[in-house]
Structures are given as structure tokens and as C-alpha cells.
A and B are shown apart, each in its own frame.
Chain A
Amino acid sequence: MLDKTGIALPEQVLSRFPKKEFLAKAKAIIECYQDIPCNPCQTSCPFGAILIGDDINVQPKLIVEKCTGCGICVTSCPGLAIMLAKTEVDKAVFKIPYELLPVPKKNEVWRAVNRAGEVIGDALIDSVQSIPKQDKTYLVTVKTDLNLLYDFITIRSKDHE
């Protein structure tokens, strides 16, 4: 499926989410499902929470306990394959990488989009961060309904429909 359409299967996605009790704090969801020669997630993590090893072809593993939810890996992954997820009472909070125009602004409401590119609800823009180290990959914090936790992947401007 994934290798025909580019859409990860629900069980693949679930396998990258830590148990619910960990999600009270933001954790990295690493959607790298293929052995490719790449390791910036590992080398960028200041807490040693992402493990690849010496063979850079190995898929990264998250050590959940060590992940502080800092988001450095999110803008370091060349494949834009990492986001952060956290749960609040009835909301899911994500930090996603974003490299398109227009750049979202705080408090705007954008579309929440799933891995197939379909609109699945609203996404409230909570903050937008761009520091030089991110090298023009914006780190966007968005809030959606909690039931979108495993489906949400990115945002789309309402003007882009």
C-alpha cells in the first residue's frame, strides 16, 4: 500500500505512536518506514532519544522516555517524516514541519489534512516558529479535535481549495 500510493497504513502509523499515557507530553512520531541511508534525526537529537546506530540505513527508533518533545528532529528530518504529538483533554496538539507558502499565522484556522491528502477537519494554528537553525522549515504548532490524533498529518490553507 505505502509503496504504491505513498499513504502509510493505519497499523504502520499506530506502530510509531507511543502508548497513550506518554502523550500527556509531546513525543516525536517518526514515520520513516524504510531503510534509507540517513541519520540527521539521530545526530540532531540533543537527548539521545533517537537511535539508528552506526549503519545509517537502519530505521530510527524513539526512546520514548528520553524524548522531551523539543521538536529539533522535526525540522532536521530531510524527509519531513517527523512530527510531535500530544494530547490535551479533548484536543490533539501537533508540531509539524512546513515548507510552503503562505506561512500560517497564529490563531488562524486551517484545514486539517490526513495522509491521503484529504481534509478531515479544522486545525487551529497555535504558534509558528522559524529560527535560523531550522533553515526555512517552519515548525507549526496546531490543535485539532482529539479524534484526529492518528489521522492528522498536515495543514492546508483554506484559500488553497
Chain B
Amino acid sequence: MMTEKELIIIGGGPAGLCAANSAAESGVKVLILERSPRLGGQLIKQTHKFFGSEKTYAKTRGFDIAKLLIDDVLNLSDNIEILCDATVVGLYPNHEITVYQKGIYQKYKAKSIIVATGASEKFLAFENNDLPGIYGAGAVQTLMNLYGVIPGQSIVMVGSGNIGLIVSYQLIQAGVKVKALVEAAPKIGGYLVHASKLRRLGVPIYTSTTIKRAIGKESVEQVETISLNEKWEMVPGTEQIIDVDAICISVGLSPLHQLLSMANVEMKYVNELGGMVPIVTEEHETSYKNLFVAGDVIGIEEASSAIIEGYLVGLIASKRLGKSHPNYETLIQAYHDQLTNLRSGPFGAKTRIGLAKLRGENHA
């Protein structure tokens, strides 16, 4: 049986929720499909106050932002239907979707689709990297901040991007000893204020250092680190063994592009955006008409950007369906300005270069 819908949004994280909000306010009937048991994506486990500007909820803690965004969507329940525990397992070029929910497969067809699947954590190759006790940094956040369970008593963090730095701080808040943070690059990757926060709490930060291997039988017991030279080669003799019962890997995210690839949307590998991303127009439309994307699935950024992109794409998709938001022009301009502002500093360079690469090809 095929259920027909006006707009289906795949993913109930910040981008998906904000897209749903814009679309519902434009008068479009929306169905949100979320694979986890609850809405909010990765925001629900962010205990830190957010950076950015007031418009993207700066200085509000992430889980409180999630509550605000979810409440906004629930208040528009006349126009928004939500399915949680609903994994999209098939996305087809004719706007058909197969959904798996609690043992049952269902088919949907939508006039328009917004893919807001977000990203997944990258992994790292090293000896014994499959031992239990080795977690993605985001997974540790989920375990601690959502379920109130700590991953271990002492830990080494691998990677100094914002996630690695923030999760290290959150581990300390949860009572876990962070014995070291190692970073393969010669410089700290994330915001230095986060690094300083850790350092003053006594966490050593070792740049030009990586993990050589994990040691343990059934689960992690120790970690061996090693220094890297300018050519990123391991320097023998610099090994250090640290007793830990958990290792946290935070070496970046890659867009969850698999559904788009399945639908045969035109894709491109753009390193600066985190991996395979769909080729899109300025309006965030993929090579298939009325198949839009928003958030990390089109390039890894902060949640603030996903929020704005969500609002933006929700408006655009709705207009295509013949339902323009009453303040369409003003809002579009405002969201574009906010994105430009967020991306204009040194930390936005990666996104700027990535998007230029993506669009350069597109226009060629």
C-alpha cells in the first residue's frame, strides 16, 4: 500500500525540524521520518552553551535548543505528522520511500522530499580498533548525557576538533578522568577556548600525536600513543602507554549520503565538506527535481548552520509546492545573511571552499 504525502522530511534533527517548521508555516502538510526513538538529532545530548548569535540560540544549552525546536514543531501539529523509530531504507528517484518501523515495511510517495539525514562519525585505522571500549565521541555523549551512563572511569580522547574538545569537557563533568587528548595535526583543530578550558582542568593536549594501538583482551585496558613528524610519520621511541578503560574517537564526521546515492542523485566527493555530498543548486535542490537537502548531509558544519539551512530549505520546498510563506522574501534574505555571517570567519573557510568546489562543478 502506498501512502501519499505532500512533503516528507527524512531526519528529525535540527535541519529537519526547522525545515518542517518553515514548511508547516507555509501551509504545507509535512511528514517527518526519524530513525531514532526521539526527535532532536544530536542536539538532545549537547549539554554545553552554544556559540553563534542569538538567532541561532547562542548561549542556550544544546538540549534546551532541541526542546525549543521540538516544541515549535509540536505546536504546528495540524500540519506536521511525526514518525519516530522509522528508518528510511529506500529512497527512489520517483519520490517513493520505503520505511521500516518496528518490524513493518511501509511505502510512501511524496510530492517533495527534504533529506536531512545529518552525519555519522568517521573511524580511524589502528591496531585493535575494534575492541569494545572504543567509542565515537558522539556515542559517548549519547551514553552519558541522554542515558546517564559513563563509558568508563578513565579515557583518552583522539581528535581535537570541537566535538573532541567538548566531549572531553563533558566527560570531566560526568566524573570521568580524561587522561590525555591527542591530535595528529600540529595544531588544535577546534575552538581554542574549548582547549583552554580542558587544559586548565589538567588535561594534557598532545598535538602531532596519534594513537598507535589499543591494548586489551575483551575490552580496552590501555592505549599506546606515538608522536608524528612533519611528514605525519610515526617517530619510533616516542611511544607512551596510558592506562584507560575507554578510548574516544573524534576524527570528524561524514555526511550520511547513502540514501541520496541510492536514489542515484548526482554526487561528488568534496573533502572540505566531509566526503560524498549531493551536487545541489543554490536552492539546495539535488539533480532530482523536488528532492532537497539541508544540514550536515550537504557538508559538515555546526548545528547553528543546520538550523538556518533547515528553515531556508523548508521555505523553498514549500514555494515549489505552490505555498509561499507570507514573509518569504524577507526570511530567505535573512537566512542567507545569517549563513554568510556564520561562514565568513576562519572557521567557515572549509565550508566556503567546499561549497565553491561543489558549485564550480555544477556550473561548468
Contact at A79–B197, with CB atoms within 8 Å?
Answer: yes
Q: How far is the CB of A127 from chain B (nearest CB, A)?
A: 21
Q: How far is the CB of A16 from chain B (nearest CB, A)?
A: 12
The majority secondary structure among interface residues of chain A is: loop
Q: Is B353's CB within 8 Å of the partner chain A? A: no
Q: How far is the CB of A150 from chain B (nearest CB, A)?
A: 14
Contact at B200–A76, with CB atoms within 8 Å?
Answer: no
Q: Is B54's CB within 8 Å of the partner chain A? A: yes
**How many residues of B are in contact with the other chain, CB < 8 A?**
43
Residues on B with beta carbons closer than 8 Å to the beta carbon of A154: 200-201
**How many residues of A are in contact with the other chain, CB < 8 A?**
43
Q: How far is the CB of B298 from chain A (nearest CB, A)?
A: 19
Interface string of A150-161 (1 = CB under 8 A from B): 000110100000
With beta carbons under 8 angstroms apart, the residue of B172, B186, B205 that contacts A6 is: B205
Output the residue of A4, A31, A54, A154 with the most chain B CB within 10 A. A4
- Tell me whether A5 and B341 are in contact in the complex, defined as CB-CB below 8 angstroms, given that A38-B52, A154-B200 are known contacts: no
Give Cα distance in the complex from A113 to B205, angstroms.
17
Contact at A2–B192, with CB atoms within 8 Å?
Answer: yes
Chain B residue nearest to A81 (CB atoms) is B193
Residues on B with beta carbons closer than 8 Å to the beta carbon of A80: 193, 197
Q: Is B131's CB within 8 Å of the partner chain A? A: no
Chain B residue nearest to A52 (CB atoms) is B53
Contact at A56–B196, with CB atoms within 8 Å?
Answer: no
Q: Is A103's CB within 8 Å of the partner chain B? A: no
Q: Is A99's CB within 8 Å of the partner chain B? A: yes
Q: Is B262's CB within 8 Å of the partner chain A? A: no
Chain B residue nearest to A99 (CB atoms) is B173
Q: How far is the CB of B89 from chain A (nearest CB, A)?
A: 36
Residues on A with beta carbons closer than 8 Å to the beta carbon of B186: 4
Q: How far is the CB of B51 from chain A (nearest CB, A)?
A: 4
Contact at A116–B199, with CB atoms within 8 Å?
Answer: yes
Give Cα distance in the complex from A156 to B64, angstroms.
28
Q: Is B222's CB within 8 Å of the partner chain A? A: no
Q: List 25 A-B pairs, Cβ < 8 Å.
A: A2-B192, A2-B196, A6-B198, A33-B192, A36-B191, A37-B304, A37-B344, A37-B347, A38-B52, A38-B58, A39-B54, A40-B59, A57-B341, A79-B51, A80-B197, A81-B197, A99-B173, A113-B200, A114-B200, A115-B199, A117-B203, A135-B49, A135-B61, A153-B200, A156-B201
Beyond A37-B304, A39-B54, A79-B194, 6 extra complex contacts between A and B, CB < 8 Å:
A2-B192, A36-B345, A37-B341, A78-B58, A101-B175, A154-B201
Could you tell me which B residues sit within 8 Å of A by CB distance?
A: 48-54, 58-61, 64, 172-173, 175, 186-188, 191-203, 205, 207, 302, 304, 341-348
